[in-house]
Amino acid sequence: MISAEGNVTLELEKRGDKKLKAGKAIGEGLVLGIVYGKGIKKNIPVVFSRINFLRALEKTGEGTLVKLKIDGDKLPKDAIIQDIQYHTFTEDVIHVDFMVVSLEEEVEVETPLEFTGVSPAVKDLGGIFVQNVENVEVRCKAKDIPRTITIDISRLATFNDMIYLKDVVVPAGVEILDNPELVVAMVDEPRSEKEMEELEQEATVDVSGVEGVKKEGEETPVVEEGKESESKKEETGESKLEENKKE
């Protein structure tokens, strides 16, 4: 859990009348953002250092508390990293939504799961660990938002064992809102050599019947220069003769 006193501080600048596009901001090492929420009458467009934000994100994570200093405010604002938008191809951060909150108000956020320990079904039986859920939605006071929820997988001793969301222990004051019967993690039996071979065969694509695909050892026919145009002329001439006969 990240306390209000221990979270990181981000320095932001108001964009004001500057119409800065995301592409240009990336080139200048900046990220665009918006600040809204408690005590904010009108949304505040901001810009800030990408490197500083990534460092903060590494320490806190999305959906957790940060302190915002806008244009050097003496009193930082407590805010949640509500949403992060990434570039489709480069995966660079291009936009961030910050929601200002009161530390005592209840909020609903997504929190990532973190798995610890060693599963006997994996270690001793050679099973494959399967994580079915990456994040869960929780409700708690803003000051109590956990960075992650830790789950011990040492209870997965056999292939029949499963960890349900209702089995997950959360910090005091935190409530999980998702379906408690959801299977969070389990261990699959290892695949046999026969099963692996069958999977490989299914994955093999036969392109022999695909038009335009040259088979191995097959030569591409070469059309001599002038031959193609002559054949087209002959076809055109024949079609015209047929039309004249019809007339």
Say how far apart CA 40 and CA 155 lie, in whole Å.
Answer: 47
Overall size of the chain counted in residues: 247
Whether 150 and 172 map to the same domain: the answer is yes
Is residue 75 included in any domain, yes or no? yes
CB-based contact 79:37 (threshold 8 Å): yes
Is residue 68 included in any domain, yes or no? yes
Comparison of pLDDT for 118 and 16, the residue scoring more: 118
Among 52, 72, 101, residue at a domain's last position = 101
Whether 81 and 132 map to the same domain: the answer is no
As for how many domains the chain has, the answer is 2
Residue at 191: amino acid letter: R
Segments forming the whole domain that contains residue 14: 1-101
| Residue-level pLDDT at 195 | 64
Question: 237: which 2 tokens?
Answer: 């001439």
Comparison of pLDDT for 31 and 17, the residue scoring more: 31
Among 101, 116, 133, residue at a domain's last position = 101
Whether 50 and 13 map to the same domain: the answer is yes
Say how far apart CA 136 and CA 151 lie, in whole Å.
Answer: 12
According to the 3-state scheme, what is the secondary structure of the chain?
CCCCCCCCEEEEEECCCCCCCHHHHHHCCEEEEEEEECCCCCCEEEEEEHHHHHHHHHHHCCCCEEEEEECCCCCCEEEEEEEEEECCCCCCEEEEEEEECCCCCEEEEEEEEEEECCCHHHHCCCCEEEECCCEEEEEEEHHHCCCCEEEEHHHCCCCCCEEEHHHCCCCCCCEECCCCCCEEEEEECCCCHHHHHHHHHHHCCCCCCCCCCCCCCCCCCCCCCCHHHHHHHHHHHHHHHHHHHHC
Is residue 230 included in any domain, yes or no? no
Say how far apart CA 136 and CA 159 lie, in whole Å.
Answer: 24
Query: Confidence band (pLDDT; 50, 70, 90) for 17?
Result: low
Average pLDDT over residues 62-83: 89
Is residue 245 included in any domain, yes or no? no
Is residue 209 included in any domain, yes or no? no
Whether 96 and 6 map to the same domain: the answer is yes
What rounded mean pLDDT belongs to the chain?
82
Say how far apart CA 168 and CA 176 lie, in whole Å.
Answer: 9
For the purposes of burial, counting CB atoms within 10 Å of the CB of 50, is it exposed (0-12), middle (13-18) or buried (19 or more)?
middle
pLDDT in tens, 138-156: 999 999 999 899 999 999 9
Whether 53 and 32 map to the same domain: the answer is yes
> Residue 214 pLDDT more than 70?
no
> Residue 4 pLDDT more than 50?
no
Domain at 172, CATH number: 2.170.120.20
pTM of this structure: 0.68
| Residue-level pLDDT at 1 | 43
Is residue 232 included in any domain, yes or no? no
Whether 85 and 150 map to the same domain: the answer is no
- CA 186 vs. chain centroid, Å, equals 22
Whether 161 and 179 map to the same domain: the answer is yes
For the purposes of burial, counting CB atoms within 10 Å of the CB of 15, is it exposed (0-12), middle (13-18) or buried (19 or more)?
middle
Among 75, 101, 127, residue at a domain's last position = 101
Comparison of pLDDT for 127 and 204, the residue scoring more: 127
